[in-house]
Structure 1
Amino acid sequence: MMMKPLGSATHVMEETIEQVIRDAPLFKGGEGMEYGPVSGGISNENWRVREISGPGDWFVKVPGNGTEMFVDRAAAFEASQKAAAAGLGPRVHDDLAARGVEINDFIPDRRASTHSDFADPVKCGAAIAAYRKMHALPALRLTKTVFDMIDEHARQAADLDAPRFRDEAWIMLNEKMAREALLASGLDLVPCFNDPMPGNFMVGEDGSIMLIDYEYASMNDRCYDLGIWFGEMFFTPEQELALIEEYFGEARPEIVSRVIVHKALADVKWALWSMVQLRVSRLDFDFYKYGMWKLMRFRQISGHPDWPLHLRRL
């Protein structure tokens, strides 16, 4: 990672993090500090800040342009605090929390996971243990189900005149059928992570896993948390059954269907999110391609002959 001393900014994002370093009491005005970008995120501007000749080492998240449209920073800070207290996440500092800037202790003894890590059943088991711990946290003040997320992004996309999906009517009809079926069955609301990008799973040398980045955390259905993770990792049906059994102790048909339906809904949510980001983000990322890729999987799941069966047995 290329680190730079304070005062050497060459573009607007570096100017932003330098101002954060000067303003945060934790960094004592910035004297003797250096910083460098942390890659992997697609929402915010992520940085490592370090004392040049001292032990201080921190991760700093500067809110990405437009993220205030769908991230409640106070709720994210609360979730980060509760996760840290449970040993699930790193220590979080409140220096600039009022400005939405998140500062965590950097955890150099852990590395961000990759998709290939979760080909290992042992690491999958560690992730399931992390999810159990997440779902057992004290209740979060923010309740935001996948339906709340979809409705929010749909409104924002319309307001921003973002690109519309070619088969939008068909997609939203299937979303509506899934919504009605899940709401009729009742939602199992627990503190959920809601953002299983591989880089948000930090793997220790002992194989244990910590979770970072709680900005999308909320009270939500626990099967959404599992479904979106399964989709992100491209697990096979056999792997999914094994993980459902690991989490619940059994893989009853109605649980399997509940996870599959949530997996499909997660793709609608993130596809809409991508269209919003396309209009507001200043990050160098192909949000349109990302959103279209998500919809490919939604079409695959909802177009499968078993889709009506999954909706019936929720």
Structure 2
Amino acid sequence: MSVPGDLDRLATLAGRSWRASELPGGLTNHNLHVVTDDDGPPLDLVVRCSSGDAALLGIDRDAEHVNTARAATAGVGAAVVEYRPDLAMLVIEYLHAEALQDADFTDAGVLGRAARACRQLHAGPRFVGDFDMFQRQADYRRTVRERGFALPPTYDDHAAAWAEVQRALQVHPRPTVPCNNDLLAANHLDDGERVWLIDYEYSGNNEACFELGNTATECGFTPEQTEAWVEAYFDHPTRADLARVRLQTLVSAYGWSLWGFIQAATSPIDHDFWAWGLEHLERAEAVFGGPDLEGWLRDVAA
């Protein structure tokens, strides 16, 4: 796309002089930092320009817009400035904070700030739509099958164990809360005093333990880090709390691996999505074949 021409069509920037620079990251978005440089009221913005087939990945851009605004209302996200679905653009305020990396979570202060941000999001206004990784996994698997996309030969070997995990989590279902559902390290912005949460493409009401388990998976937490993470969120977690989050790390890894394989077949972005999906599948397979799964299943169903 012609970035300058498209940006000039935004009402926020109409008649303004501005400069734009690329922001790193974004595997389904092209993100720009836009700052005005004229005599008008200063604007410091991020323009999220959508790319790819959002429907293929189960992304609802209208819901993303609403939920981004609700996360801002909860006090953990950037305020929405303008939404232009006709331009595939969402304009939000720029947050002056640093994107976290996996290693940052070894700092107890960072871990605590991230946990507080999650609790604040989860206590905020309900989101538009629900997110259930078991349904998402089934939808992704159907897409792979119907489109003939490549899939590692061992993926379906775990179907019976996957169903057992789902049954165990349903024995004592927990209420849903507004969740980001994609809190990899870079979607946490830390200003030293608080952590902000960004990128609501996959947001929806979900069980809080999925949010925690997904973060543990995406940020490569050790078992000890996962335990500290659960304690930071719950304060006094039960055995079932910890087991539930650990099970959800498996749910996240196995379900999201299909996202990588779909992206590998369809995305125009220069990124090794196949390796990304394979890494997540290998994490899941290590749990499926490991010694801990049976105990976790017992603990969440007890």
Shorter-chain TM band = over 0.9
Shift of 1:100: 4.2
Instruction: Write out aligned runs for 1:201-212 (5 A).
Output: 201-204=188-191, 206-212=192-198
Gaps of 5+ in 1: 1-12
Aligned to 2:234: 248
Shift of 1:243: 2.2
Contact 2:111 2:232 in 1 (8 A): no
**Aligned equivalents of 2:284, 2:83: Cα separation in 1:** 41
Aligned to 1:102: 90
Counterpart check, 1:74 vs 2:59: no
Aligned to 1:298: 284
Counterpart check, 1:42 vs 2:30: no
Indicate the RMSD between aligned Cα atoms, in angstroms: 1.7
**Aligned equivalents of 2:145, 2:284: Cα separation in 1:** 21
SS at match of 2:112: helix
**Aligned equivalents of 2:239, 2:290: Cα separation in 1:** 17
Aligned to 1:225: 211
One-letter code aligned to 2:158? I
Shift of 1:283: 1.0
Q: TM-score, normalised by structure 1?
A: 0.89
One-letter code aligned to 1:42? L
Q: TM-score, normalised by structure 2?
A: 0.93
**Aligned equivalents of 2:273, 2:115: Cα separation in 1:** 29
SS at match of 2:14: helix
**Length, aligned pairs only:** 297
SS at match of 1:80: helix
Change (3 A) 1:36 1:160: farther
SS at match of 2:254: helix
Shift of 1:158: 1.9
Counterpart check, 1:112 vs 2:109: no
Aligned to 1:3: none
Contact 2:212 2:245 in 1 (8 A): yes
Contact 2:82 2:92 in 1 (8 A): no
Shift of 1:221: 1.0
Shift of 1:117: 1.5
One-letter code aligned to 2:136? M
**Aligned equivalents of 2:6, 2:288: Cα separation in 1:** 45
Give the ranges of 4+ consecutive aligned residues of structure 1 lying more than 6 Å apart after TM superposition.
Answer: none
Contact 1:76 1:214 in 2 (8 A): yes
Gaps of 5+ in 2: none
- Once the two structures are superposed, residues 251-299 of structure 1 have per-residue CA deviations (whole angstroms, 9 ceiling, x without a partner) of 3221111111110110112110011111221111100000000011101
SS at match of 1:46: strand
Aligned to 1:59: 46
Counterpart check, 1:33 vs 2:18: yes
Shift of 1:32: 2.1
SS at match of 1:313: helix
Contact 1:76 1:216 in 2 (8 A): yes
**Aligned equivalents of 1:214, 1:167: Cα separation in 2:** 31
Identity %: 26
Instruction: Write out aligned runs for 1:265-284 (5 A).
Output: 265-284=251-270
**Aligned equivalents of 1:173, 1:99: Cα separation in 2:** 44
Shift of 1:300: 1.1
Query: What is the aligned counterpart of 1:22 among 5, 8, 12?
Result: 8
- Once the two structures are superposed, residues 156-203 of structure 1 have per-residue CA deviations (whole angstroms, 9 ceiling, x without a partner) of 222321111221222222211111221232243111111112221111
Query: What is the aligned counterpart of 1:155 among 142, 150, 172?
Result: 142
**Aligned equivalents of 1:163, 1:195: Cα separation in 2:** 24
Counterpart check, 1:183 vs 2:183: no
SS at match of 1:125: helix
Shift of 1:104: 0.6
Change (3 A) 1:185 1:19: farther
Aligned to 2:271: 285
Shift of 1:98: 5.7
**Aligned equivalents of 1:237, 1:251: Cα separation in 2:** 15
**Aligned equivalents of 1:19, 1:269: Cα separation in 2:** 38
SS at match of 1:81: helix
Aligned to 1:8: none
One-letter code aligned to 2:289? G
**Aligned equivalents of 1:148, 1:93: Cα separation in 2:** 32
**Aligned equivalents of 1:100, 1:181: Cα separation in 2:** 40
Shift of 1:99: 5.0
- Once the two structures are superposed, residues 98-136 of structure 1 have per-residue CA deviations (whole angstroms, 9 ceiling, x without a partner) of 6542111112x3111111211100010000000000111
